Amino acid sequence: MSNELVISGICVAPAVVATIVTQAVERVEGVASVGENAIASSLISVFTARPVNEEPAVESEVVDDKLNVSVRLSVFYGYPFTKLADDVRSAVASAVKGQMGVEVGAVDVCIDNLVFPKE
């Protein structure tokens, strides 16, 4: 990814897109967090040999003058993945269109973590 995205005659920093996407996705029922919990990941890496996912929570690129987004999530147990992914795609497309005024070509949803309720 380059340092800026050029779409529909405007330049936007990927961090701006990530903020818009994160704000929209965190409102979707069933989403625990966008990306991994930084504190939990740090503790896991300190106390175990398990590698921590170093990939960014939100990635974006412009393809054919449309914005393609990939978002990594932690989700709550009990929400069907296909419906959750559809809700996330809808939220992202709506937020990007409303804030940036550009079309979303694709939203890839990557579920990296499943969070179980405390009993």
Asked if 21 and 71 count as a contact pair (C-beta separation under 8 A), the reply is yes
The alpha-helical segments, DSSP class H, found in the chain are: 14-25, 38-47, 81-100
pLDDT above 70: residue 114:
yes
- Low-confidence winner among 7-11, 41-45, 115-119 (lowest mean pLDDT): 41-45
Mean pLDDT of the chain: 88
Contact 71, 106 (CB under 8 A): no
Model pLDDT for residues 65-110, shown as the tens digit of each residue: 999 999 999 999 999 999 999 999 999 999 999 999 999 999 999 9
